[in-house]
Structure formats: C-alpha cells, structure tokens
Amino acid sequence: MSSLAISPPPNQRQGRLMLALIVGLLALPFVIGAALYFGGWQPPRISHHGHLVNPPRQLSGQMLRSAPKNDQKWIFLLQVSGPCTEACLARLDEMRRIHVALYKNMSRVSRAVLTDQPNDPALLALRASQPDFMIIPAASPLPGVADPVLLVDPEDRLIMTYPADASPQGMRADLERLLKYAWNG
C-alpha cells in the first residue's frame, strides 16, 4: 500500500501564500527602519544659515524699541560702525528685498540699522524713501557680537547673527521657518 501525503487544496495554498505576502509587506517598513537604525544612518538635519545664539541674549529694550510702532515685532538689524558705505547700502537693500519676500509675514518684522552715526546722509535718505525703516542710534556696536546682521525677537533677545557674507536666500529661509513656528511677533 502506498502512502499518499495529503496536500491542502489549491485554494488553501493560495490563501496561505496571500497571508504570508500581506504579513511580509506589513513587516517590511519595520525591517527597513531597524536596518537603518542599527546601521547608524541618520536623516539630514534642517540647518540654519546664520549663527544661533544659544541661549538667546537679552538686549536693552529701551534702545531697540525706540519707535512705538515696533512693539511685538521681530527686528532684522544691521550693525554699522562709521558712515554707511556702498557695502552697507547694498546689505540694507538685500534686507529690504528679504523683508518684501516674506509677503504675508512682512508685518511681523521690522528692519533697522544700529549705528553710531544716526545723522549719516545715506541712512537719512534711505529712511526718507522707506518710512518703515528705523535708524537706532548707539554709541558702539553691541558688545560681543562680531557679525553685522542680527535677528532680535519681540522680547528683545538676540536670536541669530549672520556674517557679512551671508546669503540673502539663507537669511530668508531662516526667517520664513522662524516665523512659521513662532507664536509671537
């Protein structure tokens, strides 16, 4: 007598195969995630283009809030020592373009220059042509801050600084990201 192995019907084999396929597909993301984790891979981090001041540095509120219309706004600030040169005017024009590019968030940001020469004819001409631009007089640049472009939050804390050669696209990207997640200002 021959012994015959009893095999499951074809429908049952297809059902088991389908179940194994579904379980495999559901487990696949976990297997890939575990392999990436234990393999040491990390996603690229979102980086900022300026220098983040950590912890934020409290600035003198009286100096920065000289204009009442500036309350509860972020301040995009340029430090200038001496007369405003062509490079200074070019940076102020870049800052104006960045400000305009913020579009809906434009009203949340003020532009200003911190200078030891508030009666500089170039700055006064700029102020006359752009009424929202502020000139903040100061005896000297902010101590301990070497970068010329600064970002100050509505609570008068220095948040970020940018070197003289910082790209306008990078500054704009930082501002847009910051304003997207900031609840104040």
Q: Which helix (H) or strand (E) holds 22?
A: helix 10-38
Question: Phi and psi of 165, rounded to 5°?
Answer: -100, 15
Cα angle 90-85-131, degrees, rounded to a multiple of 5:
60
**Distance between CA atoms of residues 68 and 65, nearest Å:** 7
Query: Please, what is the angle between helix 86-101 and helix 121-129, to 10°?
Result: 20
* 31-54 burial: b if 16+ Cβ within 10 Å, else e: eeeeeeeeeeeeeeeeeebbeebe
Q: What is the pLDDT of residues 23-72, one digit of tens each?
A: 999 999 999 999 998 998 887 776 778 888 888 888 876 566 554 455 67
109-138 pLDDT, tens digit each: 999 999 988 899 999 999 999 888 999 898
Domain 51-181: which CATH number of 3.40.30.10, 3.40.710.10, 3.40.1190.10, 3.30.420.40: 3.40.30.10
Which tens digit of pLDDT belongs to each residue from 131-175?
Answer: 889 998 987 778 888 889 999 988 889 999 999 888 999 999 989
